[in-house]
């Protein structure tokens, strides 16, 4: 009666049996972290649209930043005998648990946005963007902007705003830092790591403190974990009478940056990396659905495209501005 919990898939016979070719509607679960953020909302929408096209039933659930809830939701979906699972984990270290459980239940699983490894360090199939790569693009753009501006290193500070206990955030801003050095060739600029709760108001309030501590600084380079951070910092700088010409802000997401551009305002938000959640959501559903139908393994990596946009080309790139 007592189970150690380590039983291998074969012991869980019923679950492990290859599913008989399904006649009914296939069901896919999309478990998302931070499901109330714009990017993930778009992702869900993209996935829904794709699912409708393919005739698949899609169940989207939001687990916020709660890794325990993520495990619970995964279990619920397994209990529901869904045919495939896409998951954006709140924390990448829960990867082994997530992969193990899906494997035990014999359900194909794809990691969306944040890659995960199993206990043997084998990566699960992945669809999305690469965090470090995103950061690299942002950092490179910022480096280019800096180089073009002709600012002096001593009069410039970099604000790197992010939620510091989120590893994906750290991947991005660390990537940006490294790429900035390479693109600008400038090593003498002080980077201020600004810890926020990823909301624009908090970024604003914290930036006010940074400005106090860094009077006499003329120019600011800004990046962050998401558009909320960058737009908050840029707004605060502008409110503190820093001219938009002295700010080189590079957003990540473009959904807030585009608002200034749409209104035709000149702003310190010089560029933003546009990542389209819709693409990722759709791709996840598509590869999962194909794999289920054809009983083929999932492709190991499906990387969605990113675009660096600015005030001139954001519309062409497909940024939808509410």
Partner 1 sequence: MTQSAAEAIHVQDERSLPRRVLDAVGAQNLSLLMALAAVVTIIGVQDPNFFSPSNMLAIGTAVAIAGLLAAVQTVVVILGALDISVGSMTGFTSVICAMVFTATGSASLGVVAALGIGLFCGLINGATIVYGRVNPVIATLATLATFKGLAQLVSGGRAQGYTGGDDFFIFLARGSIAAIPTLIWVLVLIAAALHVLLKYTDIGRNIYAVGGNDVAARLAGIAINKYVVGAYALSGAVAAIAGVLLTARTGSGQPVSGSEGLELESITAAALGGCDLRGGKGAIPSTLLAILLLGVLSNGMTVLGVNPFWQNVAKGALLAIAVIIQQKRSGERAVGLPR
Task: Quote the least distance from Cβ 107 to partner 1, whole Å.
Answer: 13
Task: Quote the least distance from Cβ 299 to partner 1, whole Å.
Answer: 25
- Reduce the DSSP state of residue 321 to 3 states and report it: coil
Pick from 213, 294, 297, 312 the residue near partner 1 by CB under 8 A. 213
Question: Per rule CB under 8 A, is residue 289 in the interface with partner 1?
Answer: no
* Residue 75 backbone zone (phi > 0: left; psi -120 to 50: alpha; other: beta): alpha
Q: How far, CA to CA in Å, does 213 sit from each of 177, 193, 208, 210, 222?
A: 21, 13, 9, 5, 16
Question: Per rule CB under 8 A, is residue 100 in the interface with partner 1?
Answer: yes
Instruction: Report the alpha-carbon distance of residue 245 to residue 123 in Å, rounded.
Output: 44
Task: Quote the least distance from Cβ 200 to partner 1, whole Å.
Answer: 4
> Which H/E stretch holds residue 58?
strand 57-62
Question: Per rule CB under 8 A, is residue 205 in the interface with partner 1?
Answer: yes
Question: Per rule CB under 8 A, is residue 240 in the interface with partner 1?
Answer: yes
> Phi/psi of residue 270, each to 5°?
-80, -30
Binding mask 110-139 for partner 1 (x = CB under 8 A): ---------x--------------------
Residue with smaller CB distance to partner 1, 66 or 246: 66
Residue with smaller CB distance to partner 1, 184 or 235: 235
Question: Per rule CB under 8 A, is residue 204 in the interface with partner 1?
Answer: yes
Hey, which residues between 33 and 92 contact partner 1 (CB under 8 A)? 35-38, 40-42, 57-62, 64-73, 75-81, 90-92
Q: Report the length, in residues, of the chain.
A: 322
Tokens for 107, please give them: 């359900």
Residue with smaller CB distance to partner 1, 46 or 90: 90
Instruction: Report the alpha-carbon distance of residue 28 to residue 74 in Å, rounded.
Output: 12
Task: Quote the least distance from Cβ 195 to partner 1, whole Å.
Answer: 3
DSSP letters, 259-286, are HHHHTT---SEEEEEEE-HHHHHHHHHH
Residue with smaller CB distance to partner 1, 80 or 296: 80
């Amino acid at each position: 009666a007592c189970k150690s919990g380590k039983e291998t898939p074969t012991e869980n016979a019923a679950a492990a049996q290859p599913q008989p070719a399904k006649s009914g509607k296939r069901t896919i679960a999309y478990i998302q972290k931070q499901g109330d953020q714009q990017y993930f909302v778009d992702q869900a929408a993209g996935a829904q649209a794709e699912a409708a096209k393919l005739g698949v039933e899609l169940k989207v659930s939001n687990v916020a930043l709660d890794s325990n809830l993520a495990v619970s939701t995964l279990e619920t979906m397994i209990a529901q005998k869904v045919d495939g699972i896409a998951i954006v984990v709140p924390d990448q270290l829960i990867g082994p648990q997530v992969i193990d459980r899906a494997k035990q239940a014999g359900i194909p699983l794809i990691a969306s946005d944040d890659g995960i490894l199993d206990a043997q360090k084998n990566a699960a199939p992945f669809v999305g963007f690469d965090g470090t790569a995103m950061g690299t693009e942002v950092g490179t753009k910022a480096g280019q902007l800096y180089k073009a501006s002709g600012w002096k290193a001593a009069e410039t500070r970099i604000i790197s705003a992010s939620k510091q206990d989120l590893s994906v955030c750290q991947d991005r801003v660390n990537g940006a830092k490294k790429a900035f050095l390479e693109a600008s060739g400038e090593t003498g600029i002080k980077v201020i790591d600004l810890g926020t709760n990823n909301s624009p108001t908090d970024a604003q309030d914290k930036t006010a403190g940074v400005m106090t501590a860094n009077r006499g600084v003329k120019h600011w380079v800004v990046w962050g974990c998401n558009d909320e951070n960058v737009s908050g910092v840029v707004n605060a700088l502008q409110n503190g009478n820093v001219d938009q010409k002295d700010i080189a802000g590079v957003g990540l997401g473009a959904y807030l940056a585009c608002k200034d551009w749409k209104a035709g305002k000149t702003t310190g938000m010089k560029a933003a990396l546009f990542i389209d959640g819709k693409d990722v959501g759709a791709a996840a559903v598509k590869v999962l659905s194909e794999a289920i139908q054809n009983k083929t393994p999932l492709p190991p990596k499906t990387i969605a495209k990113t675009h660096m946009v600015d005030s001139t080309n954001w519309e062409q790139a497909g940024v939808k501005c509410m």
